[in-house]
């Protein structure tokens, strides 16, 4: 008798993959809390701007307050990215246009008008950063789940700091908030060193893959990334919780994973492939289940279901 398929450890059928209404609601609450967390610095900046701008007796006086020139440029509708490409005279012109066209007509309420326009531009910045927040939260959730599995097994691990690109040895198994700054994990299983990387450009495919598990220690990662034979598993992770976009997320992931399998198969290689999604509707669940049963996918889990996620992570850490 053959080995039981790994997904059978946590899935009895297609319906188990479907995201419940309660989990969708909880996901939207989590997104709202994250939006508020990310908005806090902008709100504080707006309060500080109001205090500084209140020194001005008239809109024209604002251009004389050195500490708020960048904020004035923001209120003029100029993003940080756009400002980095502008000359000093262009920035001055934008600020003068703000004062002439919007602040002076506001009369005595020019400070409030300034703050409103500052927040309007910062709101666009926040909106941009929120577009992929589902993916960010999903990555954090998965990394924390893997860390938990390693901790329970008392398997030492290192993690890759997102900003510094430095590998850091975990100080203890209870260390908090690693997932907020981690882009990768490395541990030693019974079969050897394993390194899991997020958003890695894989060879043969030449596209970014959400998750890649490699047969190497992190000090060999640069070399290993270029060697298709060292890829043990590749996956798509979709953290969007909105049911309206769920089908599109799955179609994108399905296409990406099909390309992965075809590309590696062309080199007589067959790394494991799996899918993890937060919003999985009934039709999607049926397609995913059929791929699992046909062997087109090796594993799958609903990210909002802790039991499924833990089971998949346990399988992953044992590859």
- What is the pLDDT, as a whole number, of residue 1? 39
* Distance set, CA 98 to CA 102, 104, 144 (Å): 6, 9, 46
Mean pLDDT of 233-255: 89
Question: What would you report as the CA-atom Rg of the chain, rounded to the nearest whole angstrom?
Answer: 25
Does the residue 41 lie in any domain?
A: no
Residues 284 and 217 in one domain: yes
CA distance 272 to 252: 18
Contact by Cβ (8 Å): 74, 122 = yes
Q: What is the pLDDT of residues 62-119, one digit of tens each?
A: 999 989 999 999 999 988 888 889 999 999 999 999 999 999 999 999 999 999 999 9
The whole-number average pLDDT for the span 244-248 is: 84
| pLDDT surpassing 50 at residue 254 | yes
77 and 202: one domain? no
> So what's the pLDDT on residue 243?
85
Residue 2 has pLDDT above 60, yes or no: no
Alpha-carbon distances, residue 25 vs 20, 32, 244, 278, 279 (angstroms): 9, 11, 13, 12, 11
Residue 121 CB: number of other CB atoms within 10 A? 19
Q: Which of 128-132, 222-226, 231-235 has the lowest mean pLDDT?
A: 128-132
Q: How confident is the model at residue 33 (pLDDT cuts 50, 70, 90)?
A: confident
Closest CA to 273 of 225, 199, 204, 211: 211
69 in any annotated domain = yes
CATH of the domain at 146: 3.40.91.10
| Residue finishing a domain among 129, 150, 178 | 129
What's the distance, Cα to Cα, between the start and end of the chain in Å? 21
Tell me the C-alpha distance between 286 and 266, whole Å.
Answer: 28
| Domain contains 42 | no
pLDDT at 130 (0 to 100)? 63
pLDDT score for 38: 83
216 and 169: one domain?
A: yes
Q: Does some domain include residue 252?
A: yes
Q: How many angstroms separate the CA atoms of 140 and 134, rounded?
A: 10
Residue 67 lies in domain: 54-129
185 shares its domain with 97: no
Whole-model pTM: value is 0.80
Give residue 11's pLDDT: 95
CATH number, residue 75: 1.10.238.90
pLDDT tier at 192, thresholds 50, 70, 90: very high
Are 19 and 104 part of one and the same domain? Answer: no
Contact 255, 291 (CB under 8 A): no
Mean pLDDT of the chain, nearest integer: 90
200 domain-assigned: yes
Indicate if 199 and 188 belong to the same structural domain: yes
Bridge-based pairing of strands 299-302 and 272-277 is: parallel
Domain termination residue (choose one: 77, 95, 129): 129
| Domain tally, the chain | 2
The Cα 169–Cα 286 span in angstroms is 41
- Beta-carbon contacts of residue 171 (< 8 Å; ≥ 6 apart): none
Can you tell me the mean pLDDT for 264-276? 94
Q: How far apart are CA 298 and CA 5, in angstroms?
A: 8
Number of helices followed by number of strands (H, E) in the chain: 10, 8
Verify that 113 and 224 share a domain, yes or no: no
- Rounded CA-CA distance 77/259 in Å is 42
pLDDT at res. 308 = 96
Q: Is residue 310 part of a domain?
A: yes
Calculate mean pLDDT across residues 304-312. 95
Per cent of the chain over pLDDT 90 is 71
In this structure, the answer to whether residues 247 and 156 fall within a common structural domain is yes
């Amino acid at each position: 008798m053959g080995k039981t398929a790994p997904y059978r450890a946590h899935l009895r059928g297609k319906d188990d993959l479907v995201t419940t209404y309660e989990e969708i609601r909880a996901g939207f609450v989590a997104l709202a809390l994250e939006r508020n967390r990310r908005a806090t610095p902008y709100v504080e900046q707006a309060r500080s701007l109001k205090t500084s701008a209140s020194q001005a007796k008239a809109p024209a006086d604002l251009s004389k307050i050195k500490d708020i020139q960048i904020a004035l440029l923001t209120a003029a509708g100029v993003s940080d990215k756009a400002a980095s490409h502008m000359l000093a005279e262009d920035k001055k012109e934008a600020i003068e246009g703000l004062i002439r066209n919007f602040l002076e007509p506001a009369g005595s309420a020019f400070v409030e008008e300034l703050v409103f326009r500052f927040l309007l531009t910062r709101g666009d910045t926040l909106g941009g950063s929120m577009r992929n927040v589902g993916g960010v939260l999903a990555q954090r959730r998965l990394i924390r789940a893997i860390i938990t599995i390693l901790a329970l097994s008392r398997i030492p691990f290192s993690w890759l700091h997102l900003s510094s690109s430095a590998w850091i040895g975990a100080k203890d198994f209870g260390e908090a908030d690693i997932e907020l700054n981690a882009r990768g994990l490395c541990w030693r299983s019974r079969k050897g060193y394993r390194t899991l990387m997020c958003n890695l450009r894989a060879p043969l495919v030449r596209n970014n893959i959400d998750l890649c598990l490699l047969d190497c220690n992190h000090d060999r990662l640069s070399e290993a990334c270029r060697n298709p034979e060292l890829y043990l598993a590749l996956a798509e992770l979709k953290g969007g919780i909105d049911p309206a976009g769920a089908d599109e997320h799955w179609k994108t992931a399905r296409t990406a994973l099909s390309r992965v399998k075809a590309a590696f198969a062309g080199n007589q290689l067959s790394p494991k492939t799996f899918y993890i999604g937060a919003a999985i509707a009934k039709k999607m669940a049926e397609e995913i289940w059929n791929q699992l049963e046909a062997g087109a996918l090796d594993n799958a889990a609903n990210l909002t279901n802790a039991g499924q996620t833990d089971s998949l992570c346990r399988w992953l850490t044992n590859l």
